[in-house]
Structure 1
Amino acid sequence: MKIHFLGTAAAEGYPNAFCRCEYCAKARELGGKNIRTRTSAIVDDTIKFDYSPDSFMQALRYGIDYGAIEHMLVTHTHSDHFNAYDLECRRTGIAHDLHHPLHIYGNDAVMQRTRAAIGRFEGERFAFHLLRPFETFLAGDARVTPLLADHDRMETCLLYVVEKGGKTLLYGHDSGWFPEATWQWLRGRQLDCAILDCTHGYTGNSRDRNHMCVETVLEAQREFQKERILKPDGKIVVTHFSHNAKLLHEEFERIFDPVGIITAYDGLILYI
């Protein structure tokens, strides 16, 4: 399974275009892996998580053919994760030589927003699929199970487990410490890779709500190990970083490298 990280920032990007804090200033100065666009990733060139407002630029930057994407798994409707109106660019007369619909999966809020944006093209270039937590479905040759996140109290935000080609991936954000129902589902599973939210730096709370921090990620790693949720050679990857974490890329690496956690950056390609 190939995972391509197109963006690794929280909602405001890193650096925040409007911000003059020392961390945004330093990120601009250093460049490289410190420049982060809004979070998204693609699996095996055909499954995309979310459609951030940076998706168009990310496709150009990395030479991504979005025409090859068959399935889009939407975690929730916050503006940094789902820019539904841009998907109109896939409709007939604007995009050519496409021979399959784009299947869009998500909660009821995702369905409502998608139908408001591009619903008139359903059946032409799009197919919409309303999901329920913990109900497994097939997306092409992948088995996908949506899990509950702890993020927005006014929306049923989802995490995703994707099983494909003998490998199992958890796409675990946006979320703070997982709800107990999600932990119960994960216990007894064997993940090859878990991608976790690390929006915050140090907060002093090992079980943060809404988003994870450094301490919460480390606590989640201990839970994975205790419950044997992660295979012995499985990987944990952190992403979705905010400038308010007050940490640059190398500083995240200094924290996570010693415990075997990978710090993602825009453009990272990972094989599991």
Structure 2
Amino acid sequence: MRIEFLGTAAADACPDPFCECEYCEAFRKAGGKSIRMRSSMLLNDNLIIDLGPDLLVAANRRGTSFAKVRYTLQTHPHNDHADPTTMYMRSDDCLPEGLVTMTYALSPAAVDVWDHVMEDHHRSFREADVQARHHIEIVEITPWQAFSLGPYEVQSIKASHAQPELQAMLFAIRDTRDGSTFFYGTDTGPLPSDTWARLADLGWRFDLFTLDHTRGFRSDLPGHLGENGFMAEVAAARSAGVIDTTTQVIATHFAHHSVFPHEQLAERCAANGYEPAYDGMVVTIPR
């Protein structure tokens, strides 16, 4: 499985364009890997996690289109992960060429949000012709549901993020072609104590484990993890057996007010046994 981090920041990005704090000024001075867009992922060039606001820039940086992406998973509908202009660019109104129909797995709450921001407020993405106009096929999912998207086996997991009715989710993904496994866990605070044991009971063990680190080196807040919370969840996952010494552990989804420029961040993370993601980072598993 080829996994590319298209964006690795929280909603405010790094740097925040309206901020001159010491962190943002340090990001601007450092440039390179210290500049972060809002979080999204690309797997094997055919599956995207989160239709966020920076996919346009990510595609342009790569020099490619996302027209052939066949599958999308939506973690939750906050606007740094689900952007209406991104969906609009798929619509027939924009006359896209070469676009394939994309199977889009998201919560009922996320569908409701898309309906609220859609250009035609009298229609719904649950209507077949609206889906056809945007070249999507919607599959509504809920936390703790197992399902398939093409060659991928997916297990949704309930996140600890925002209001329960938002149905925010994390994802365990297995590529059935080579058996490689990936955990994507951005936008969550401390998880219920049985989460990792439940995944272990379902037969999951991860080659790559990616988790929220929004709060950087500050304490956790409801809905997000900092350094201590991140390490506590990694320890719990290891104790449950879903990760081991061969698992690559990566932090992502950084807020501007809590982390160092990338090189300093990497040194601190390495001292604790994991590494920080950066925009454009590619991981191939099995390694």
TM range, smaller chain:
over 0.9
Whichever residue aligns with residue 88 of structure 1, its letter is Y
Look up the SS of the partner of 1:170 in the other structure: strand
Indicate the larger mover: 55-64 or 115-124. Answer: 115-124
Indicate the residue corresponding to 1:217 in structure 2.
Answer: 230
Indicate the residue corresponding to 2:87 in structure 1.
Answer: 87
Indicate the residue corresponding to 1:142 in structure 2.
Answer: 152
TM-score if structure 1 supplies the norm length?
0.93
Indicate the residue corresponding to 1:123 in structure 2.
Answer: 132
Deviation at 1:202, TM superposition (A): 2.5
CA distance in 1, matches of 2:168, 2:60: 29
Indicate if the aligned counterparts of 1:4 and 1:270 stay in contact, CA closer than 8 A. Answer: yes
Indicate the larger mover: 179-188 or 35-44. Answer: 179-188
Indicate the residue corresponding to 2:162 in structure 1.
Answer: 152
Aligned match for 1:250, one of 252, 263, 266 = 263
CA distance in 1, matches of 2:17, 2:85: 22
Deviation at 1:40, TM superposition (A): 0.6
Indicate if the aligned counterparts of 1:14 and 1:242 stay in contact, CA closer than 8 A. Answer: yes
Indicate if the aligned counterparts of 2:73 and 2:104 stay in contact, CA closer than 8 A. Answer: yes
Deviation at 1:69, TM superposition (A): 0.6
Indicate the residue corresponding to 2:181 in structure 1.
Answer: 168
Indicate the residue corresponding to 1:114 in structure 2.
Answer: 114
Aligned match for 1:201, one of 199, 216, 230 = 216
Between the two proteins, the alignment pairs up a number of residues equal to 269
Indicate the residue corresponding to 2:122 in structure 1.
Answer: none
CA distance in 2, matches of 1:220, 1:25: 31
Q: Please identify which structure carries the higher strand content.
A: 1
Deviation at 1:17, TM superposition (A): 0.2
CA distance in 2, matches of 1:197, 1:233: 20
CA distance in 1, matches of 2:90, 2:230: 37
Deviation at 1:136, TM superposition (A): 0.9
Look up the SS of the partner of 2:234 in the other structure: helix
Look up the SS of the partner of 2:76 in the other structure: coil
Indicate if the aligned counterparts of 2:52 and 2:86 stay in contact, CA closer than 8 A. Answer: no
How do 1:1-80 and structure 2 match up within 5 A?
1-80=1-80
Deviation at 1:181, TM superposition (A): 5.0
Indicate the larger mover: 246-255 or 2-11. Answer: 246-255
Indicate if the aligned counterparts of 1:148 and 1:181 stay in contact, CA closer than 8 A. Answer: no
CA RMSD, Structure 1 to Structure 2 (Å) = 1.8
Indicate if the aligned counterparts of 2:213 and 2:226 stay in contact, CA closer than 8 A. Answer: yes
Indicate if the aligned counterparts of 1:111 and 1:129 stay in contact, CA closer than 8 A. Answer: no
Change (3 A) 1:91 1:203: closer
Deviation at 1:133, TM superposition (A): 1.4
Indicate if the aligned counterparts of 1:16 and 1:243 stay in contact, CA closer than 8 A. Answer: yes
Deviation at 1:166, TM superposition (A): 0.3
Whichever residue aligns with residue 92 of structure 1, its letter is D
Indicate the residue corresponding to 1:97 in structure 2.
Answer: 98
How far does the alpha carbon of each residue in 1:167-218 deviate from its partner, in whole angstroms, 9 at most, with x for none?
111110110112345333223421111110100123356xx53101011111
Whichever residue aligns with residue 144 of structure 1, its letter is V
TM-score if structure 2 supplies the norm length?
0.88
Indicate if the aligned counterparts of 2:23 and 2:258 stay in contact, CA closer than 8 A. Answer: no
Indicate the larger mover: 216-225 or 85-94. Answer: 85-94
Whichever residue aligns with residue 121 of structure 1, its letter is V
Look up the SS of the partner of 2:250 in the other structure: strand
CA distance in 2, matches of 1:97, 1:27: 37
Gaps of 5+ in 1: none
1:190 aligns with 2:205: yes
Look up the SS of the partner of 2:188 in the other structure: coil
CA distance in 2, matches of 1:204, 1:66: 37
Change (3 A) 1:123 1:246: closer
